[in-house]
């Protein structure tokens, strides 16, 4: 990755950690303008937008990250979480199950799987 892109990306991650999501989005935009095939850049930009309540745009970015890097646990998990936030537990199950296959001991994914099944009245 280009040094400038990496700096913008790292700045964005730091800004997310500080809760400065709008500034983080700007930083990720600059990084992605330079290096568009950065799955983590799309993913973290999605996290910042999700934190701002922009779930549909965040979801599209998670899918973009998944296109670039299709075997990442975090992307499947966040897609599932975001679909839950959008009130779509049926589709969330697909992605939460995939995240669970990659990391079967992740407590947050197990919890969110349970929430999705509960929302769908699948009590078994």
> Global pTM?
0.89
Nearest-angstrom CA–CA distance, 21 and 49: 7
Please state the CATH superfamily assignment of the domain spanning residues 71-124 in this structure. Tetratricopeptide repeat domain (1.25.40.10)
Alpha-carbon distance 3 to 116, whole Å?
41
Confidence band, pLDDT 50/70/90 cuts, at residue 101: very high
Local confidence band at 118 (pLDDT 50, 70, 90 cut-offs) = very high
Q: Averaged over 22-28, what is the pLDDT?
A: 97
CATH 1.25.40.10 in the chain, residues?
1-65, 71-124
Residue 29: Cβ within 10 Å count: 13
CA atoms within 13 A on the CB side of 54: 14
What pLDDT is recorded for position 71? 85
Mean pLDDT, to the nearest integer, of 24-36? 95
pLDDT digits (tens, 9 = 90+) for 64-97: 999 998 888 899 999 999 999 999 999 999 999 9
Domain 1-65 has CATH 1.25.40.10: yes
C-alpha 122, offset from chain centre:
26
Q: Are 108 and 115 in contact (CB under 8 A)?
A: no
């Amino acid at each position: 990755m280009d040094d400038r892109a990496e700096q913008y990306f790292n700045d964005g991650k730091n800004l997310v950690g500080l809760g400065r999501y709008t500034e983080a989005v700007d930083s990720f935009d600059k990084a992605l303008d330079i290096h568009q095939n950065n799955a983590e850049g799309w993913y973290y930009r999605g996290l910042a937008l999700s934190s701002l309540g922009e779930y549909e745009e965040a979801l599209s970015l998670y899918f973009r990250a998944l296109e670039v890097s299709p075997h990442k646990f975090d992307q499947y998990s966040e897609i599932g979480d975001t679909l839950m936030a959008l009130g779509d537990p049926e589709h969330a199950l697909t992605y939460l199950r995939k995240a669970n296959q990659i990391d079967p001991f992740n407590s947050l994914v197990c919890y969110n799987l349970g929430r999705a099944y509960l929302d769908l009245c699948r009590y078994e």
